[in-house]
Structure 1
Amino acid sequence: MTVIYDLEHITTYRYRKPVTFGEHRAIFLPSASYGEQILSYSLTTNIPAKIRWTMDTLSNNVATITFSEPAQELSVTGWLRAEHFGIKAIAEFPLDARAIEIPVQYTPDEWLDLSRYMRPHAEDPDGCLAAWAKSFVAGDQDDTLNVLQYMMDSIRNNLTYQARETEGTQSPGETLRLKSGTCRDYAWLMIEALRRLGLACRFVSGYLYDAALDGGEVGMIGSGATHTWLQVYLPGAGWRNYDPTNQITAGFDLIPVAIARHPGQVIPLSGFWFGDAQDYLGMEVNVSIRKLGTLPEFEEGKSG
């Protein structure tokens, strides 16, 4: 089944008086993949701007926005309509024998391609992250899929989800110490822990579609908003999704937009402005995802 959806992502900044804006960088448009096909899209601003589309080193679609006028309010709206094919369960992709147990054995070519995703990025000064990671392979617990599931479940069951307005991502050590975090903190903790077990992992930024939203309800954590999770490379299965916030590994809920080695590379909208610090009044983000129907239904509606 293929789901057709509309997505709108509006970011609004407000200031006490008009300020001047520097270059901004927007990442909201999914790259071409087996799970997504873009039908149409647009990026608009409330003040005159020049928009230039490029692809970064990781093949993410990036819009560079240059503004020509000062303003008291800045609004950037990304919209797209897409076909979403969903993610099949890992059971449909049997692992190669060399991936069944940890440590996973990557080939020389895989090592060359995956090294940037295997090298730990976050510091671990007191060793708490390494110790936490190793606790999942203690004794005879070396089955790769079990270790991944246990770690994902541990994050969801033992940490408290805490929404946070401030930008940035906590260090994995801080998330363990606080025993709380956002979806990006959860994903970053699991990525850095798995890297210390020799697994190639990458950070994924995107959106979470929840069917409950179609009925005016909210079911999963982070639904109808930007969302982050991780992908792990497993020989035989390829890049597989793990969302520790909602314990999701398959289905239609995860809509990937961009991948990165670390969270700072895929901030949905980033940039700078010139003015007095006290002029900044705050930021508001509104994301809406609306299912138009499955592909056969959608085609019938268009022709009718």
Structure 2
Amino acid sequence: MATYFIKHVTKYSYDNPVIDAANQLRLHPINDEFQNVNSHYLVITNNAHVQTYLDYYKNIVGSFMITEAITELYIESNIEVTTFSKILPEDTIAAKTQWKELENIKYDDPFVDFLIHKPFSGTNELAQIIEEKQIKHKTVYQALQELCDYVYNLIKYTKGVTKVDSSIDEVWKIKAGVCQDFTNIMLQALRMCGIPARYVSGYICPNSDNTRGEGATHAWIEAYIPFYGWLGFDPTNNTIANDCHVRLAVGRDYSDCAPVKGVFKGNANANLFVKVNVSTSKSDEDLILPETPMSSIKNNSYKRHMERIQQQQQQQ
């Protein structure tokens, strides 16, 4: 069990006024038997009112609109959450029985959504690796551990070489990226094996000097293990997701889990700043905004209605 205090700041600065800023948030942490949300509140420009609803995957989604002209949109999410470790699978059921169960449920809701995958440039190579590792001769739990280790060693953790919309083909070609890229490769591998796997957006809380993904939102996968349930795996850190992982949302991919996205009216360029601070003690200190923005979004206008995405690539 662990308790964390998380402050997540997103700031857009526009070089011309914009109006009718409509936004969608997936910043409300999941509340269940493994994660207890002690408190959560949002601070938003113009004290915007946030309405919430549950999406198809049971994520809490917030939405708001600012009709007035603004040159800055500030969104601050403050969370106090207590997490609990899962009891890991005993893994005593025969591998053949587990794979047969996966075959039986592959068209059931919600598993069918988490098995869909499209061929990509590395499909044949990845299929060969799966065959060489004899994945389907092992239990599902063993297969997940082995594939997590494979992706961890395949991709070089490198910031700035990919973008939020980089394709799996691009990542496979350069074998480098950040947590979203590790996650997408592992999702592809698991779905090719017939293991239901879903994308998870959230935070990783520091538990060692080598933790990757601190400083912004993090991504990992959850896979379904027959006769057990869903279990998280973090290929960026080659670990099972535990009480150091705080979940915000789950879905088929990043688009189902994007922390912040929206549209506005106006002919403006936007500079984006994102920062996350995670602590085991409560602090009232403000996060320092940099003089140079972390990224720039060009030509955002109502004609293009381009989705503003809080870039997962800004994971530190």
TM-score range, shorter chain: 0.7 to 0.9
1:261 aligns with 2:252: yes
Q: What SS does the aligned partner of 1:112 have?
A: coil
1:290 aligns with 2:279: yes
Shift of 1:130: 4.1
Counterpart amino acid of 1:260? G
Do the aligned partners of residues 139 and 281 (structure 1) sit closer, same or farther apart at CA in structure 2, a change above 3 Å counting?
A: closer
Deviations 1:201-253 (CA, angstroms, capped at 9, x unpaired): 111111000135xxxxx531112421000011011221111111001104322
Do the aligned partners of residues 139 and 192 (structure 1) sit closer, same or farther apart at CA in structure 2, a change above 3 Å counting?
A: closer
Correspondence for 1:137: 131
The number of residue pairs the alignment matches comes to: 279
1:96 aligns with 2:93: yes
The percentage of aligned residue pairs carrying the same residue is 23
Counterpart amino acid of 2:54? M
Correspondence for 1:251: 242
Correspondence for 1:211: 207
1:170 aligns with 2:166: yes
Do the aligned partners of residues 166 and 190 (structure 1) sit closer, same or farther apart at CA in structure 2, a change above 3 Å counting?
A: closer
Do the aligned partners of residues 59 and 100 (structure 1) sit closer, same or farther apart at CA in structure 2, a change above 3 Å counting?
A: same
**Matches of 2:265 and 2:212, distance apart in 1:** 35
1:184 aligns with 2:183: no
Q: Is residue 13–residue 73 contact of structure 1 (8 Å, CA) maintained in 2?
A: yes
**Matches of 1:36 and 1:52, distance apart in 2:** 23
Superposition TM-score, scaled by structure 1 size: 0.83
Counterpart amino acid of 1:80? I
**Matches of 1:205 and 1:244, distance apart in 2:** 13
Do the aligned partners of residues 7 and 39 (structure 1) sit closer, same or farther apart at CA in structure 2, a change above 3 Å counting?
A: same
**Matches of 2:84 and 2:265, distance apart in 1:** 43
Q: Is residue 27–residue 266 contact of structure 1 (8 Å, CA) maintained in 2?
A: yes
Do the aligned partners of residues 66 and 74 (structure 1) sit closer, same or farther apart at CA in structure 2, a change above 3 Å counting?
A: same
Q: Is residue 161–residue 176 contact of structure 2 (8 Å, CA) maintained in 1?
A: no
Shift of 1:123: 4.0
**Matches of 1:139 and 1:109, distance apart in 2:** 24
Counterpart amino acid of 1:105? E
Q: What SS does the aligned partner of 1:240 have?
A: strand
Correspondence for 1:300: none
Correspondence for 1:296: none
Q: Is residue 47–residue 71 contact of structure 1 (8 Å, CA) maintained in 2?
A: no
Correspondence for 1:222: 213
Counterpart amino acid of 2:266? G
Counterpart amino acid of 2:80? R
Q: Is residue 183–residue 235 contact of structure 2 (8 Å, CA) maintained in 1?
A: yes
- The CA RMSD over aligned residues, in Å, is 2.4
Q: Is residue 162–residue 177 contact of structure 2 (8 Å, CA) maintained in 1?
A: no
Correspondence for 1:106: 102
Do the aligned partners of residues 98 and 149 (structure 1) sit closer, same or farther apart at CA in structure 2, a change above 3 Å counting?
A: closer
Shift of 1:8: 1.1
Counterpart amino acid of 1:70? A
Counterpart amino acid of 1:283? L
1:1-304 equivalences under 5 Å are 2-88=1-87, 90=88, 92-94=89-91, 96-98=93-95, 103=99, 105-106=101-102, 108=104, 111-113=107-109, 114-120=111-117, 122-124=118-120, 126=121, 128-138=122-132, 140-141=134-135, 142-143=137-138, 144-164=140-160, 168-212=164-208, 219-276=210-267, 279-292=268-281
**Matches of 1:176 and 1:100, distance apart in 2:** 33
**Matches of 2:262 and 2:236, distance apart in 1:** 28
Q: Is residue 137–residue 147 contact of structure 1 (8 Å, CA) maintained in 2?
A: no
Correspondence for 1:297: none
Do the aligned partners of residues 166 and 188 (structure 1) sit closer, same or farther apart at CA in structure 2, a change above 3 Å counting?
A: closer
Q: Is there any run of 5+ residues in structure 1 with no aligned partner, and where?
A: 213-217, 294-304
**Matches of 2:53 and 2:21, distance apart in 1:** 18
**Matches of 1:288 and 1:200, distance apart in 2:** 32
